[in-house]
Chains A and B, each alone.
Chain A
Amino acid sequence: MAHAEAHAHDGHDHDHAPSGIGRWLFATNHKDIGTMYLVFALVMFFIGGAMAMVIRAELFKPGLQFVDPGFFNSMTTMHALVMIFGGVMPAWTGLANWMIPLQVGAPDMALPRMNNYSFWILPFAFSLLMISFFLPGGAPAGGWTLYPPLVLQAGDSFGLTIFAIHMMGISSIMGAINVVVTIMNMRAPGMDLLKMPLFCWTWLITAYLLIATMPVLAGAVTMLLTDHYFGTAFFNPAGGGDPVMFQHIFWFFGHPEVYILILPAFGIVSEVIPTFSRKPLFGYESMVYATGSIAFLSFIVWAHHMFTVGMPLAGQLFFMLSTMLIAVPTGVKVFNWTTTMWRGSISYEPPMLFALAFLFLFTIGGFSGLMLAIAPVDFQYHDTYFVVAHFHYVLVPGAVFAIMAGVYYWLPKWTGHMYDMKLAKWHFWLSTISVNVLFFPMHFLGLAGMPRRIPDYNVQFADWNMVASIGGFAFGLSQVMFVYIILKSLRGGPKASARVWDDTNSEGLEWTVPSPAPFHTFDTPPVVK
């Protein structure tokens, strides 16, 4: 890992930030664009969260309470699309924009104007998606996986959804190209690849995954579009097509997508744990190779999402065993994080708390993933709430907690103020308790046979659904604290030093620039020893 030996040479005033709305509309500064991505993601988290509240309110007790089943299906579909493409992915891109140039010692992203385009595509894409609520037939309701033939029965929203997905894909690909080009070409002298902070490494690998898989999704939805409007039969058996082939293509994108959502989280945790354990990261190189291995394996496991379509035994065995192999590099990572903490002088600031929760709760999600990887067992679990519990454990206390760890880690660097530690710890404990009350009972519901994506259910599932809904409302409410803490820290608070976490092991070039980070940083490349 690079030692922060660079000169804090940016103390003199470089703050020639443009003013007015133009600063944001025509932004080319990586920090401004990063901020816009993060604000956009936060708004999307609340929109997607509101949809989750509708789902949990409807499922609070058996019977139909608030919404009709069609709208309920729109809620599950849109919740997923908004959270994945509008929440988690833009949050990672925002963190990448803010931190990668600071961490590699570059003055900005390599392609600042393309950076602006990739951000500004997103609000338009999501406006299209949201407008579909008001069209005949309502918003898309066939699930975020867009399986034909069901999705082909959608109303007028279909075209808008496909167009929105194309735009999100273009935005992600442009963002990914920017990250690769920045990391490969803009590193400060002496910043060898194996000296880069792990957040940069995990993002570099994520960016390659994005470039390889988003076009596959785009291809799949283009074919859906032509099937729907132009009479082709890629996935229509009546014309000789095959709906199962869509599932193969979709999951060839979809599984690497899962790692697109989680690899940057590994990077954040790999930064936070050494800082607050006051020890260097254990096994830096093995972390890099484990990330690379996970990325490679993510391309050869896709059919574990579709064991029940009736594939040959050899296929089941291959996808079962290749999926289980992912536990090896993931285990390396969990081992390294744990070993980093071993005999460390640990302190429990909010970023560390979120990273620790990540470590425990993501591992629970990983274990239920291993259970789902067992093909004969998956026949029982497939499309039940067990799957919902599994992927929410890896995505909420996994990806989302890591985003929160990252925000709490770098927020003083962005605002120049320390935030309210006490409130942030409250936010942590309320989130951690409620997220488990929300998602853990879903394991029981799934094992008992409750199917996913249903607005009503048998009375035998009533108790745990009620518990999960209470957890859901508590988790949703707790997130209001997060916004309050950020706004409070923007308004003021104790001044943060350049190092921010002064008596810790924080390493990296971002801690050599003043807090808040000036508008322009590293105009002269720092020297990394």
Chain B
Amino acid sequence: MQDVEKQRRIRRTVITLAVVAVGFYVGFILYTYSMVPHGQHP
């Protein structure tokens, strides 16, 4: 039903979108982490 090229395209789209989603998740946590003071406080 689906040729090899189509399957490859589908896989590529899924991986790209999943990477974007995980990137946003990790990115926003790291961004927030960078915005608050952390480490040793005097």
A260 to B37, CA, bound (A): 34
- B32–A215 touching, CB < 8 Å: no
Interface string of B4-28 (1 = CB under 8 A from A): 0010011001100110111111111
Interface size class, chain B: 20 to 34
Closest CB-CB distance, B23 to chain A, in whole Å? 8
The chain A residue with its CB closest to the CB of B13 is: A181
A219 touches B17 (CB 8 A): no
A3-11, A240-248, A399-407 - interface stretch: A240-248
Bound-complex Cα distance A184 to B14 (A): 11
A88, chain B: closest CB distance, angstroms:
21
Of A177, A184, A219, the contact of B28 (CB 8 Å cutoff): A219
A185/B10 in contact, CB under 8 A: yes
| Residues of A with C-beta under 8 A to B38 | 240
Instruction: Using CB atoms, name the residue of chain A closest to B23.
Output: A215
**A185 CB contact (under 8 Å) in B9, B23, B27, B33:** B9
Instruction: Across the interface, name the chain A residue whose C-beta is closest to B15.
Output: A177
| Structural contact, B10 and A220, CB atoms closer than 8 A | no
Contacts A222-B29, A234-B33, A523-B1 given: A212-B24 contact, CB under 8 Å? yes
Whether the Cβ atoms of A107 and B29 lie closer than 8 Å is no
- 0/1 per residue, A170-202, Cβ < 8 Å to B? 000100110011001100000000000000000
Q: Verify if A249 is at the interface (C-beta below 8 Å from B).
A: yes
Within 8 A of B (CB), among A143-186: 173, 176-177, 180-181, 184-185
What residues on A are CB-neighbors of B23 within 8 Å?
215
**Secondary structure call for the B interface:** helix
Tell me the A233-264 residues at the B interface (CB within 8 Å): 233-234, 239-242, 245, 249
Q: Is the CB of B35 within 8 A of A215?
A: no
Contact of A111 with B by CB under 8 A:
yes
Which residues of A sit under 8 angstroms from B10, Cβ to Cβ? 110-111, 181, 185
Q: Say yes or no: A219 contacts B13, CB within 8 Å.
A: no
The interface residues of chain A lying within 8 Å CB-to-CB of B37 are 240
CA distance A339 to B12 in the complex (A): 41
Task: Report Cα–Cα, A510/B25, bound state, in Å.
Answer: 37
In the bound complex, residues from chain B placing their C-beta under 8 Å from that of A219 are: 24-29, 32
A216 on interface, CB distance cutoff 8 Å? yes
> B34 to nearest A CB, angstroms?
11
User: A507 to B30, alpha carbons, bound, how many Å?
Assistant: 48
A326 at the interface (CB under 8 A from B): no
- How far does the alpha carbon of A523 sit from the alpha carbon of B2 in the complex, in Å? 11
A215 and B14 contacting across the interface, CB-CB below 8 Å: no
**Of B1, B6, B14, which is in contact with the most chain A CB atoms at under 10 Å from its CB?**
B14
Nearest-CB distance from A10 to chain B (Å)?
15
Q: Which chain A residues lie closer than 8 Å to B29 at the CB level?
A: 219, 222-223
Whether the pair A216, B24 counts as a contact (CB closer than 8 A) is: yes
Q: Say whether B6 contacts A185, CB under 8 Å.
A: yes
Contacts of B6 in A (CB 8 A): 185
* A214 to B37 Cα, complex, angstroms: 26
> Are the CB atoms of B41 and A215 closer together than 8 Å?
no
A-B contact pairs, 12 of them (CB 8 A): A177-B13, A177-B14, A177-B18, A177-B21, A184-B13, A185-B6, A212-B20, A215-B25, A219-B25, A219-B26, A223-B32, A242-B36
With A177-B17, A234-B36 already in contact, 11 other A-B pairs whose C-beta atoms are closer than 8 Å:
A111-B14, A177-B14, A184-B13, A185-B10, A212-B24, A218-B25, A239-B36, A240-B41, A245-B32, A249-B32, A523-B1
